[in-house]
């Protein structure tokens, strides 16, 4: 049951200014888009992104969609080819999300992309999200603003009922036009159906099969996992292992030396990449308590260990 009384402000100058200030301070804010209400945070601030997961109570880390003001901002984060530029010109601003190769210098927190080398990008059309992007001047990661496993919110009251005061501010601008999350596309494949239908595209689109195995490297993979064997619940490194420590277990690297799960979530994918790039043959990870964000951390570690 969500706590009562989140702060709800009607869309306007005051609401946008407060939202931008909160985002600059690393908080998340609920904001309407033309699809659903999103829970937005600074995509370059790993702790702020961990805060999105904490507020939603999501038991697993999936890569998040990053919202930007325009195509120029998007091109600063991802590599566009001619077809992607064509789709952007046709459908942006609007309910289309493009999955593209992440630029090396994008500066996006690895928790946003869940460690992948691709990024999902969208230029929203809604005036409130547009105003927030302009006022905050940074890319905003935003999944739907509902608790995990709850319905997607299309009104400020839905956000309040689902998240309560786990979200400090909800910008209210009435009902969402589409009421359905954006269509997600990678190349000529629709990864998630949405307001833009397959027939609306200028070329034939494939639909990802529900249970399709992950195909070519870097193409449609939805999960990053290290290439090296990974051992969980380790209290010490075996010979030739790189130990990712946590709390009282010191390692070559640490998730959080103080056992802070928000910090651990924020550091998780960077730590896995560093371990993969080390000169050791294997990776060991210290135990992480299965509570709060620890549940999502353990979900991701288990997937990385069993592959
Ligand atoms: O309409 C929307 O898109 C809403 C509003 C708030 O803008 N946002 C939204 O975001 O639905 P989110 O973060 O919940 O969407 C995540 C989806 C997941 O299905 C995820 O697998 C996919 O985007 N995704 C994100 N990054 C990806 C990537 N690099 N490769 C493949 N899929 C990706
Ligand atoms: Mg959702």
Residue range 254-293, pLDDT digits in tens: 999 999 999 999 999 999 999 999 999 999 999 999 998 9
Q: Is the peptide bond before 93 cis (omega within 30 degrees of 0)?
A: yes
Check whether 248 has a pLDDT greater than 90.
Answer: yes
Rounded to whole angstroms, the Cα distance separating 41 from 214 reads 29
Contact residues of ligand 1, CB 6 A cut-off: 33, 35-36, 38, 62-65, 95, 97, 99, 113, 116, 118-120, 122, 142-144, 181-182, 184, 191-192, 222
**pLDDT for the residue numbered 211:** 43
Triad 201, 139, 216: Cα angle to 5°: 50
Query: If you measure from the C-alpha of residue 20 to the centroid of ligand 1, how many angstroms do you get, rounded to a whole number?
Result: 22
Structure tokens belonging to residue 67: 């919202």
- Which one is predicted more confidently, 98 or 150? 98
Rounded to whole angstroms, the Cα distance separating 145 from 90 reads 27
Query: If you measure from the C-alpha of residue 89 to the centroid of ligand 2, how many angstroms do you get, rounded to a whole number?
Result: 26
Measuring from atom 14 of ligand 1, which residue has the nearest CA? 143
Check whether 221 has a pLDDT greater than 70.
Answer: no
**pLDDT for the residue numbered 32:** 98
Q: Residue 43's pLDDT band (boundaries 50, 70, 90)? A: very high
Q: Residue 9's pLDDT band (boundaries 50, 70, 90)? A: very high
Rounded to whole angstroms, the Cα distance separating 167 from 174 reads 18
Helix, strand, or coil (residue 19): helix
pTM: 0.92
Question: What is the mean predicted confidence (pLDDT) over 32-49?
Answer: 98
Contact, 249 vs 233, CB < 8 A? no
Structure tokens belonging to residue 26: 């690393």
Check whether 202 has a pLDDT greater than 80.
Answer: yes
Q: Residue 219's pLDDT band (boundaries 50, 70, 90)? A: very low
Rounded mean pLDDT of the chain? 92
């Amino acid at each position: 049951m969500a706590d009562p009384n989140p702060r709800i402000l009607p869309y306007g100058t005051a609401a946008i200014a407060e939202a931008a200030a909160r985002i600059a301070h690393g908080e998340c804010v609920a904001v309407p888009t033309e699809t659903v209400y999103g829970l937005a945070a600074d995509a370059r601030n790993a702790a702020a992104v961990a805060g999105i997961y904490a507020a939603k109570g999501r038991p697993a880390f999936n890569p998040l969609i990053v919202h930007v003001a325009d195509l120029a901002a998007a091109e600063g984060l991802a590599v566009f080819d001619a077809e992607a530029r064509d789709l952007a010109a046709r459908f942006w601003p609007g309910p289309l999300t493009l999955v593209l190769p992440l630029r090396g210098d994008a500066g996006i927190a690895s928790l946003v992309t869940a460690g992948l080398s691709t990024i999902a990008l969208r230029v929203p059309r809604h005036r409130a999200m547009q105003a927030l992007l302009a006022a905050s001047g940074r890319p905003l990661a935003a999944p739907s603003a509902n608790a995990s496993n709850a319905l997607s919110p299309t009104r400020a009251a839905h956000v309040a009922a689902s998240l309560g005061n786990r979200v400090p501010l909800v910008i209210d601008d009435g009902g969402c036009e589409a009421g359905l999350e954006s269509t997600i596309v990678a190349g000529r494949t629709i990864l998630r159906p949405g307001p833009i239908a397959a027939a609306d595209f200028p070329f034939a689109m494939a639909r990802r099969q529900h249970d399709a195995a992950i195909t070519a490297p870097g193409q449609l993979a939805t999960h990053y996992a290290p290439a090296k064997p990974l051992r969980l619940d380790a209290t010490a490194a075996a010979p030739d292992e790189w130990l990712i420590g946590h709390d009282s277990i010191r390692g070559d690297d640490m998730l959080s030396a103080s056992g802070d799960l928000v910090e651990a979530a924020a550091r998780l994918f960077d730590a896995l990449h560093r371990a993969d790039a080390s000169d050791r043959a294997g990776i060991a990870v210290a135990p992480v308590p299965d509570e709060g964000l620890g549940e999502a951390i353990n979900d991701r570690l288990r997937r990385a260990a069993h592959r």
